[in-house]
A = this chain, B = another copy of it.
Protein backbone atom coordinates (compact mmCIF):
# COMPACT_ATOMS: atom_id res chain seq x y z
CA UNK A 1 0.00 0.00 0.00
CA UNK A 2 2.45 2.65 1.16
CA UNK A 3 6.14 2.58 0.50
CA UNK A 4 7.14 3.52 4.03
CA UNK A 5 9.10 1.18 6.23
CA UNK A 6 7.63 2.00 9.59
CA UNK A 7 8.25 -0.73 12.10
CA UNK A 8 5.59 -1.78 14.57
CA UNK A 9 6.52 -1.35 18.21
CA UNK A 10 6.22 -5.12 18.66
CA UNK A 11 9.04 -5.88 16.23
CA UNK A 12 11.74 -8.01 17.87
CA UNK A 13 15.32 -7.12 17.11
CA UNK A 14 17.04 -10.34 16.05
CA UNK A 15 20.69 -11.20 16.33
CA UNK A 16 22.32 -10.26 13.01
CA UNK A 17 25.00 -12.92 13.53
CA UNK A 18 22.53 -15.75 14.17
CA UNK A 19 22.10 -16.54 10.48
CA UNK A 20 25.72 -17.52 10.02
CA UNK A 21 25.88 -19.28 13.40
CA UNK A 22 22.84 -21.40 12.67
CA UNK A 23 24.00 -22.19 9.15
CA UNK A 24 27.35 -23.33 10.50
CA UNK A 25 25.57 -25.48 13.11
CA UNK A 26 23.37 -27.35 10.65
CA UNK A 27 26.29 -27.92 8.28
CA UNK A 28 28.31 -29.39 11.15
CA UNK A 29 25.40 -31.46 12.48
CA UNK A 30 24.62 -32.91 9.05
CA UNK A 31 28.15 -34.30 8.85
CA UNK A 32 28.08 -35.53 12.44
CA UNK A 33 24.71 -37.29 12.10
CA UNK A 34 25.61 -38.87 8.76
CA UNK A 35 28.87 -40.19 10.21
CA UNK A 36 27.04 -41.59 13.26
CA UNK A 37 24.34 -43.27 11.15
CA UNK A 38 26.89 -44.77 8.75
CA UNK A 39 28.75 -46.15 11.77
CA UNK A 40 25.61 -47.84 13.15
CA UNK A 41 24.71 -49.12 9.70
CA UNK A 42 28.10 -50.74 9.28
CA UNK A 43 27.33 -51.71 5.69
CA UNK A 44 29.03 -50.77 2.46
CA UNK A 45 26.42 -48.26 1.40
CA UNK A 46 27.20 -44.67 2.27
CA UNK A 47 25.08 -41.52 2.20
CA UNK A 48 24.77 -39.94 -1.22
CA UNK A 49 25.16 -36.16 -0.91
CA UNK A 50 23.04 -34.32 -3.44
CA UNK A 51 23.81 -30.61 -3.50
CA UNK A 52 21.27 -28.34 -5.12
CA UNK A 53 20.87 -24.61 -5.73
CA UNK A 54 17.84 -22.43 -6.16
CA UNK A 55 17.95 -20.14 -9.18
CA UNK A 56 18.98 -16.50 -8.78
CA UNK A 57 21.10 -17.15 -5.70
CA UNK A 58 18.06 -17.74 -3.53
CA UNK A 59 19.85 -20.47 -1.64
CA UNK A 60 20.12 -24.21 -1.81
CA UNK A 61 20.91 -27.23 0.23
CA UNK A 62 22.38 -30.67 0.54
CA UNK A 63 20.07 -33.69 0.53
CA UNK A 64 21.86 -36.66 2.11
CA UNK A 65 20.29 -40.04 1.32
CA UNK A 66 21.09 -43.62 2.27
CA UNK A 67 18.91 -46.33 0.70
CA UNK A 68 19.18 -50.07 1.15
CA UNK A 69 21.76 -50.08 3.95
CA UNK A 70 22.40 -53.02 6.26
CA UNK A 71 20.56 -51.50 9.21
CA UNK A 72 18.94 -48.49 7.56
CA UNK A 73 16.35 -49.09 4.88
CA UNK A 74 16.16 -45.40 4.02
CA UNK A 75 17.42 -42.23 5.64
CA UNK A 76 17.37 -38.60 4.56
CA UNK A 77 19.52 -36.04 6.38
CA UNK A 78 18.98 -32.72 4.68
CA UNK A 79 19.98 -29.14 5.14
CA UNK A 80 18.66 -26.12 3.32
CA UNK A 81 19.45 -22.43 3.42
CA UNK A 82 16.84 -20.46 1.55
CA UNK A 83 15.95 -16.83 1.05
CA UNK A 84 13.18 -15.09 -0.80
CA UNK A 85 10.15 -12.91 -0.24
CA UNK A 86 6.86 -13.90 1.36
CA UNK A 87 3.98 -12.49 -0.71
CA UNK A 88 1.21 -10.55 1.12
CA UNK A 89 -1.11 -13.59 0.96
CA UNK A 90 1.56 -15.73 2.62
CA UNK A 91 2.14 -13.17 5.35
CA UNK A 92 -1.55 -13.25 6.23
CA UNK A 93 -1.47 -17.04 6.60
CA UNK A 94 1.77 -17.07 8.58
CA UNK A 95 0.63 -14.36 10.99
CA UNK A 96 -1.76 -16.88 12.59
CA UNK A 97 1.26 -18.78 13.96
CA UNK A 98 3.81 -15.98 14.04
CA UNK A 99 2.33 -12.82 15.50
CA UNK A 100 5.63 -10.91 15.24
CA UNK A 101 5.54 -10.96 11.42
CA UNK A 102 5.01 -7.52 9.95
CA UNK A 103 5.00 -5.88 6.56
CA UNK A 104 3.24 -2.74 5.31
CA UNK A 105 -0.02 -3.87 3.72
CA UNK A 106 0.34 -5.11 0.17
CA UNK A 107 4.11 -5.47 0.41
CA UNK A 108 6.06 -8.70 0.45
CA UNK A 109 8.51 -9.54 3.18
CA UNK A 110 12.13 -10.67 2.65
CA UNK A 111 12.90 -13.83 4.61
CA UNK A 112 15.82 -16.12 5.32
CA UNK A 113 15.51 -19.61 6.73
CA UNK A 114 17.88 -22.46 7.34
CA UNK A 115 17.23 -25.86 8.81
CA UNK A 116 18.19 -29.48 9.11
CA UNK A 117 15.56 -32.16 8.75
CA UNK A 118 16.07 -35.86 8.93
CA UNK A 119 14.17 -39.09 8.83
CA UNK A 120 15.45 -42.63 9.41
CA UNK A 121 13.51 -45.78 8.49
CA UNK A 122 15.40 -48.85 9.76
CA UNK A 123 15.20 -52.32 8.18
CA UNK A 124 14.40 -54.13 11.42
CA UNK A 125 10.77 -53.73 12.56
CA UNK A 126 11.98 -53.76 16.18
CA UNK A 127 13.82 -50.47 15.52
CA UNK A 128 11.75 -47.28 15.38
CA UNK A 129 11.57 -44.72 12.63
CA UNK A 130 12.62 -41.26 13.74
CA UNK A 131 12.26 -37.70 12.51
CA UNK A 132 14.04 -34.49 13.50
CA UNK A 133 13.90 -30.92 12.31
CA UNK A 134 15.51 -27.76 13.62
CA UNK A 135 15.23 -24.45 11.81
CA UNK A 136 15.85 -20.74 12.25
CA UNK A 137 13.65 -18.21 10.46
CA UNK A 138 14.17 -14.48 10.02
CA UNK A 139 12.35 -11.75 8.21
CA UNK A 140 14.20 -8.62 7.23
CA UNK A 141 13.58 -4.96 6.86
CA UNK A 142 14.40 -3.55 3.44
CA UNK A 143 17.79 -2.44 4.81
CA UNK A 144 18.64 -6.08 5.59
CA UNK A 145 18.38 -5.71 9.36
CA UNK A 146 16.47 -8.48 11.18
CA UNK A 147 12.78 -7.83 11.83
CA UNK A 148 10.96 -10.91 13.20
CA UNK A 149 12.77 -14.16 13.98
CA UNK A 150 12.10 -17.51 15.58
CA UNK A 151 13.30 -21.05 16.01
CA UNK A 152 11.24 -24.17 15.39
CA UNK A 153 11.76 -27.88 15.45
CA UNK A 154 11.92 -30.99 17.57
CA UNK A 155 12.33 -34.73 17.24
CA UNK A 156 10.00 -37.69 17.58
CA UNK A 157 9.97 -41.47 17.51
CA UNK A 158 7.68 -43.86 15.58
CA UNK A 159 8.06 -47.47 16.77
CA UNK A 160 6.54 -50.51 15.10
CA UNK A 161 6.89 -52.51 18.32
CA UNK A 162 6.80 -50.73 21.63
CA UNK A 163 9.91 -51.07 23.79
CA UNK A 164 9.06 -48.90 26.75
CA UNK A 165 12.71 -48.37 27.67
CA UNK A 166 13.31 -46.86 24.21
CA UNK A 167 10.42 -44.43 24.63
CA UNK A 168 11.66 -43.53 28.11
CA UNK A 169 15.25 -43.00 26.92
CA UNK A 170 14.21 -40.80 23.99
CA UNK A 171 11.94 -38.67 26.16
CA UNK A 172 14.36 -38.52 29.12
CA UNK A 173 17.21 -37.30 26.92
CA UNK A 174 14.96 -34.66 25.39
CA UNK A 175 13.56 -33.64 28.77
CA UNK A 176 17.10 -33.22 30.12
CA UNK A 177 18.02 -31.14 27.07
CA UNK A 178 14.98 -28.94 27.64
CA UNK A 179 15.38 -28.62 31.41
CA UNK A 180 18.91 -27.30 31.06
CA UNK A 181 17.44 -24.23 29.34
CA UNK A 182 13.86 -23.77 30.53
CA UNK A 183 11.76 -25.89 32.90
CA UNK A 184 8.65 -25.04 30.93
CA UNK A 185 9.97 -26.35 27.60
CA UNK A 186 9.60 -30.11 28.00
CA UNK A 187 6.01 -30.30 29.30
CA UNK A 188 4.90 -27.76 26.70
CA UNK A 189 6.83 -29.19 23.74
CA UNK A 190 5.98 -32.82 24.61
CA UNK A 191 2.26 -32.01 24.52
CA UNK A 192 2.72 -29.97 21.31
CA UNK A 193 4.44 -32.94 19.67
CA UNK A 194 1.59 -35.33 20.56
CA UNK A 195 -0.89 -32.84 19.18
CA UNK A 196 0.97 -32.03 15.98
CA UNK A 197 1.90 -35.57 14.90
CA UNK A 198 -1.66 -36.82 15.15
CA UNK A 199 -3.19 -38.90 12.38
CA UNK A 200 -6.69 -37.51 12.93
CA UNK A 201 -8.46 -39.75 10.39
CA UNK A 202 -7.01 -42.81 12.18
CA UNK A 203 -7.64 -41.44 15.68
CA UNK A 204 -4.07 -42.22 16.67
CA UNK A 205 -0.68 -40.54 17.03
CA UNK A 206 1.95 -41.04 14.33
CA UNK A 207 4.31 -42.30 16.98
CA UNK A 208 5.08 -42.02 20.69
CA UNK A 209 6.14 -38.38 20.41
CA UNK A 210 9.13 -36.43 21.56
CA UNK A 211 9.25 -32.64 21.42
CA UNK A 212 7.90 -30.11 18.93
CA UNK A 213 7.91 -26.32 18.99
CA UNK A 214 7.45 -23.42 16.62
CA UNK A 215 7.66 -19.63 16.79
CA UNK A 216 10.12 -19.87 19.70
CA UNK A 217 11.53 -16.43 20.52
CA UNK A 218 10.99 -16.16 24.26
CA UNK A 219 14.68 -15.54 25.04
CA UNK A 220 17.74 -14.03 23.43
CA UNK A 221 18.46 -15.86 20.13
CA UNK A 222 21.79 -17.05 21.52
CA UNK A 223 20.00 -18.85 24.38
CA UNK A 224 17.61 -20.64 22.07
CA UNK A 225 20.48 -21.53 19.77
CA UNK A 226 22.12 -23.26 22.75
CA UNK A 227 18.88 -25.12 23.44
CA UNK A 228 18.77 -26.31 19.82
CA UNK A 229 22.33 -27.60 20.20
CA UNK A 230 21.20 -29.58 23.25
CA UNK A 231 18.26 -30.92 21.24
CA UNK A 232 20.59 -32.21 18.50
CA UNK A 233 22.77 -33.96 21.09
CA UNK A 234 19.79 -35.50 22.91
CA UNK A 235 18.54 -36.90 19.63
CA UNK A 236 21.81 -38.37 18.45
CA UNK A 237 22.64 -39.96 21.82
CA UNK A 238 19.26 -41.55 22.30
CA UNK A 239 18.51 -42.63 18.75
CA UNK A 240 21.85 -44.29 18.04
CA UNK A 241 21.55 -46.12 21.38
CA UNK A 242 18.04 -47.34 20.46
CA UNK A 243 19.13 -48.37 16.97
CA UNK A 244 22.04 -50.36 18.36
CA UNK A 245 19.72 -52.07 20.84
CA UNK A 246 17.27 -53.21 18.15
CA UNK A 247 19.13 -53.56 14.86
CA UNK A 248 20.05 -57.23 15.27
CA UNK A 249 16.94 -58.59 16.98
CA UNK A 250 15.30 -61.48 15.16
CA UNK A 251 11.93 -60.91 13.50
CA UNK A 252 9.36 -62.82 11.48
CA UNK A 253 7.80 -62.13 8.08
CA UNK A 254 4.58 -61.18 9.87
CA UNK A 255 6.46 -58.62 11.95
CA UNK A 256 8.09 -57.18 8.83
CA UNK A 257 4.66 -57.01 7.21
CA UNK A 258 3.29 -55.14 10.23
CA UNK A 259 6.12 -52.62 9.82
CA UNK A 260 5.18 -52.07 6.16
CA UNK A 261 1.52 -51.55 7.07
CA UNK A 262 2.44 -49.07 9.81
CA UNK A 263 4.65 -47.24 7.32
CA UNK A 264 1.45 -46.66 5.37
CA UNK A 265 0.22 -44.65 8.35
CA UNK A 266 3.46 -42.67 8.26
CA UNK A 267 2.85 -41.82 4.60
CA UNK A 268 -0.76 -40.90 5.38
CA UNK A 269 0.36 -38.45 8.07
CA UNK A 270 3.05 -36.87 5.92
CA UNK A 271 0.85 -36.46 2.84
CA UNK A 272 -2.51 -35.68 4.46
CA UNK A 273 -1.77 -33.81 7.69
CA UNK A 274 1.79 -32.49 7.83
CA UNK A 275 1.69 -28.74 7.32
CA UNK A 276 5.37 -28.61 6.41
CA UNK A 277 4.95 -31.11 3.59
CA UNK A 278 1.77 -29.42 2.33
CA UNK A 279 3.54 -26.05 2.32
CA UNK A 280 6.47 -27.55 0.44
CA UNK A 281 4.33 -29.28 -2.19
CA UNK A 282 2.42 -26.06 -2.84
CA UNK A 283 5.55 -23.94 -3.22
CA UNK A 284 6.23 -23.25 -6.91
CA UNK A 285 9.52 -24.83 -8.02
CA UNK A 286 10.04 -26.48 -4.64
CA UNK A 287 12.51 -29.36 -4.65
CA UNK A 288 9.95 -32.18 -4.40
CA UNK A 289 12.52 -34.97 -4.06
CA UNK A 290 14.04 -33.32 -1.00
CA UNK A 291 10.59 -32.97 0.59
CA UNK A 292 9.41 -36.51 -0.18
CA UNK A 293 12.68 -38.20 0.73
CA UNK A 294 10.85 -38.64 4.06
CA UNK A 295 8.70 -41.42 2.55
CA UNK A 296 9.81 -45.00 3.24
CA UNK A 297 11.38 -47.29 0.63
CA UNK A 298 8.74 -50.01 1.12
CA UNK A 299 5.12 -49.49 2.18
CA UNK A 300 2.03 -51.66 2.17
CA UNK A 301 -1.70 -50.96 2.42
CA UNK A 302 -3.75 -53.97 3.46
CA UNK A 303 -7.51 -53.64 3.69
CA UNK A 304 -8.81 -53.33 7.25
CA UNK A 305 -5.82 -54.88 8.98
CA UNK A 306 -6.60 -55.22 12.69
CA UNK A 307 -4.04 -56.35 15.26
CA UNK A 308 -4.99 -59.42 17.30
CA UNK A 309 -6.31 -58.64 20.78
CA UNK A 310 -3.56 -58.84 23.37
CA UNK A 311 -0.76 -58.94 20.75
CA UNK A 312 2.35 -56.76 20.69
CA UNK A 313 0.87 -55.03 17.64
CA UNK A 314 -2.24 -54.10 19.59
CA UNK A 315 -0.11 -52.88 22.50
CA UNK A 316 1.55 -50.42 20.13
CA UNK A 317 -1.76 -49.15 18.76
CA UNK A 318 -3.05 -48.60 22.29
CA UNK A 319 0.03 -46.50 23.08
CA UNK A 320 -0.59 -44.43 19.94
CA UNK A 321 -4.23 -43.84 20.81
CA UNK A 322 -3.54 -42.49 24.30
CA UNK A 323 -0.34 -40.42 24.65
CA UNK A 324 1.56 -41.31 27.81
CA UNK A 325 3.92 -39.46 30.11
CA UNK A 326 7.14 -41.38 29.56
CA UNK A 327 9.18 -39.55 32.17
CA UNK A 328 8.37 -37.84 35.48
CA UNK A 329 7.85 -34.09 35.26
Residue of B nearest to A301 (CB): B295
Stretch from A147-155, A157-165, A217-225, A266-274 that touches the partner: A266-274
B303 in contact with A296 (CB, 8 Å): no
CB neighbours (8 Å) of A289 from chain B are: 303-304
Rounded to whole angstroms, the CA-CA distance of A131 and B240 in the bound complex is 44
Question: In angstroms, how far is the closest chain B Cβ from the Cβ of A139?
Answer: 26
Known: A267-B271, A288-B201. A302 touches B298 (CB 8 A): no
Query: Out of B76, B201, B304, which one reaches A281, CB within 8 Å?
Result: B201
Interface residue tally on A, bucketed by range: 20 to 34
Give the residue among A50, A76, A299 with the most B Cβ atoms within 10 A.
Answer: A299
Rounded to whole angstroms, the CA-CA distance of A296 and B298 in the bound complex is 12
Query: Out of B63, B296, B298, B301, which one reaches A292, CB within 8 Å?
Result: B301
CB neighbours (8 Å) of A303 from chain B are: 48, 50, 63, 65, 67, 74, 76, 289, 293
The reply to whether the CB of A88 lies closer than 8 angstroms to some CB of chain B is no
Chain A 190-201 per-residue mask, 1 if CB under 8 angstroms from chain B, else 0: 000000000001
A297 in contact with B300 (CB, 8 Å): yes
The reply to whether the CB of A264 lies closer than 8 angstroms to some CB of chain B is yes
Query: Out of B48, B74, B293, B295, which one reaches A264, CB within 8 Å?
Result: B295
Count of this chain's copies in the oligomeric assembly: 2
Question: In angstroms, how far is the closest chain B Cβ from the Cβ of A296?
Answer: 6
Q: Which A53-108 residues have C-beta < 8 A from chain B?
A: 63, 65, 67, 74, 76
The reply to whether the CB of A202 lies closer than 8 angstroms to some CB of chain B is yes
B299 in contact with A300 (CB, 8 Å): yes
B298 in contact with A300 (CB, 8 Å): yes
Rounded to whole angstroms, the CA-CA distance of A298 and B281 in the bound complex is 23
Give the residue among A298, A302, A303 with the most B Cβ atoms within 10 A.
Answer: A303
CB neighbours (8 Å) of A264 from chain B are: 295
Ranked nearest first, the 6 interchain pairs of A and B with the lowest CB-CB distance are A295-B301, A271-B271, A201-B281, A289-B304, A65-B303, A299-B299
Known: A267-B299, A295-B301, A298-B299; 20 extra A-B contacts, CB below 8 A, are A65-B303, A65-B304, A67-B302, A74-B301, A74-B303, A76-B303, A201-B281, A201-B282, A201-B286, A201-B288, A264-B295, A267-B271, A271-B271, A271-B272, A272-B281, A292-B301, A297-B300, A297-B302, A298-B298, A299-B301
22 A-B pairs whose Cβ atoms sit less than 8 Å apart in the complex: A65-B303, A67-B302, A74-B301, A74-B303, A76-B303, A201-B281, A201-B282, A201-B288, A202-B288, A268-B271, A268-B292, A271-B271, A271-B272, A272-B272, A289-B303, A292-B301, A295-B301, A296-B301, A297-B301, A297-B302, A298-B298, A299-B299
